[in-house]
Amino acid sequence: MTIDYSHCNQAFVDGLWAFLEYTEPNSLRTQQKEGLMVRRCLQKGDFEKRCIQRWAISELADSISKNPYEPVEDTTYKLALKLYSFEKAAISESMKKVFRIAAEFIDDEVIGIFRTREGIYP
């Protein structure tokens, strides 16, 4: 018997897309405090990092949508492992950096949601 996680997965994906919309630079500029932060504090390296993290979130949302019979936690964990493997297989340093930033973001921030206080993945 296969369990259909599509409703739970869709709720998580909707949350990811809402986050991406909220953090989009145009929407940040409409809010005074966040707009000031974006214009004043964002260095080139930070901008690159945020772009890569946003890409990782969109990849995660796509992966979750394509796997309705897997729990979000499993799909997220598999994506992080895939990104780490792409980092190791990348030829250029710039590609290694992109995959490392994406993998660490998914591993630390997103999978961190599912881990216990002791850092154990259920």
Question: What is the arithmetic mean of pLDDT over 32-47?
Answer: 58
All structural domains of the chain with their residue ranges: 6-114
For the chain, the average pLDDT equals 80
CA distances from 66 to 8, 52, 63, 77, 85 (A): 13, 21, 5, 15, 20
pTM for the structure as a whole: 0.76
* 64-75 confidence digits (pLDDT tens): 989 888 888 889
* Predicted pLDDT of residue 35: 47
8 A C-beta contact, residue 106 and residue 60: yes
* 90-121 confidence digits (pLDDT tens): 999 999 999 999 999 998 888 877 766 665 55
Question: What is the arithmetic mean of pLDDT over 46-53?
Answer: 84
Residue owning tokens 């989009």: 24
Confidence grade of residue 86 (pLDDT, cut at 50, 70, 90): very high
**Position with higher pLDDT, 15 vs 41:** 15
8 A C-beta contact, residue 34 and residue 28: yes
* Predicted pLDDT of residue 78: 93
